[in-house]
Chain A
């Protein structure tokens, strides 16, 4: 199993450009998440999905969009790149809760380092 795979690993964008960060997982996990990591700020949730066709906003969704057409893929779209979106982006996935509906560990990809100049 490859786990969670993110592409590209690095990208430089100009202000106003758009791009899609790709995320795919091969663990058949229902839940998928997008986080951004900024120095000294921890990880902030951008969007999440509980299954194909279902997405919802996290803590910092402005400037981003997502879609979930399959269980495996959860792409993150930046429509009009801004310098404030310079960050490291992580995708994660987790299975459904266990017998008591308790949260399960999240598995992370290795991130996309995005610079917007």
Chain B
């Protein structure tokens, strides 16, 4: 019930295309869903996050879509660029749990020029 399942494990997209990464969760107490971006040799960095009171959040080319009834959320990267090539992690957490995050397994994105 604490798991967050992420797919696909790897993704190859052409420059200018749309990258879509999906996550699913079981615990309905989760109320914070961040996405982290990680470049080789670096730590994860927060990309964008959403709370379940909205169904979509957009920041530049990055959009989170959230489906509370299906217990799923996804990251969409519009106009994907080679510089977006990285590993992406979804995560989930719930208020009052001291900020502990449950991470998905990660998706390695390669954007081809």
Chain A contacts to B: CB under 8 angstroms: 4, 31, 33, 35, 40-45, 48, 50, 56, 58, 90, 92, 94, 97, 100-111
Contact = CB atoms under 8 A, between A and B. Distances in A.
B9 A101 contact: no
5 contacts: A4-B43, A33-B101, A100-B95, A103-B93, A103-B97
Contacts of A90: 43-44
B51 to A, nearest CB: 7
Nearest to A51: B98
Q: Which 10 A-B pairs have the closest CB atoms?
A: A108-B43, A42-B103, A43-B103, A105-B46, A103-B32, A42-B105, A103-B99, A103-B93, A110-B43, A31-B99
Contacts of B105: 40-42
Interface in B40-64: 41-46, 49, 51
A43 B104 CA distance: 8
A2 to B, nearest CB: 13
B95 A102 contact: yes
Given A103-B93, A105-B34, A111-B43, A42 B106 contact: yes
A106 B101 contact: yes
B6 interface: yes
Interface residues of B, number: 28
Interface of B: 6, 9, 31-32, 34, 36, 41-46, 49, 51, 89, 93-101, 103-106
Given A48-B98, A106-B101, A43 B44 contact: yes
A88 to B, nearest CB: 9
A35 to B, nearest CB: 8
Given A90-B44, A105-B34, A111-B43, A45 B95 contact: no
B45 A50 contact: no
Contacts of A41: 105
B95 A42 contact: no
Contacts of A33: 99-101
Given A100-B95, A108-B44, A111-B43, 17 more contacts: A40-B106, A41-B105, A42-B89, A43-B89, A43-B103, A44-B103, A45-B101, A48-B99, A48-B100, A50-B98, A90-B44, A101-B95, A103-B97, A104-B99, A105-B46, A106-B99, A110-B41
